[in-house]
Amino acid sequence: MVDFLPKVKVELVVAEAQVEGAIEAITKAARTGKIGDGKIFVTPVEQVIRIRTGESGEAAI
């Protein structure tokens, strides 16, 4: 018998200085120690542009 677990996908974009803090917060909140706790993928974001103001980089985050 297969027991399917509900899933939630969370996507965040944070400044590089906040990456470790975000990882710690997610891990602390999500860890149950059981199968299905999930995974964290960390990838760089090459460019961010806020369309409304034209801001780019960290100012757009």
8 A C-beta contact, residue 23 and residue 40: yes
Q: Compute the distance between CA of residue 25 and CA of residue 19 in angstroms, rounded to an integer.
A: 10
Exposed / middle / buried, residue 38 (Cβ in 10 Å: 0-12, 13-18, 19+): middle
Which pLDDT score, from 0 to 100, does residue 54 have? 96
d(CA 59, CA 31) in angstroms, rounded, equals: 32
Q: List pLDDT tens digits, range 6-57.
A: 888 999 999 999 999 999 999 999 999 988 899 999 999 999 999 999 999 9
Using 50, 70 and 90 to split pLDDT, how confident is the model at 3? confident
Reduced to 3 states (helix: H, G, I; strand: E, B; else coil), residue 55 is: coil
**56 SS3 class:** strand
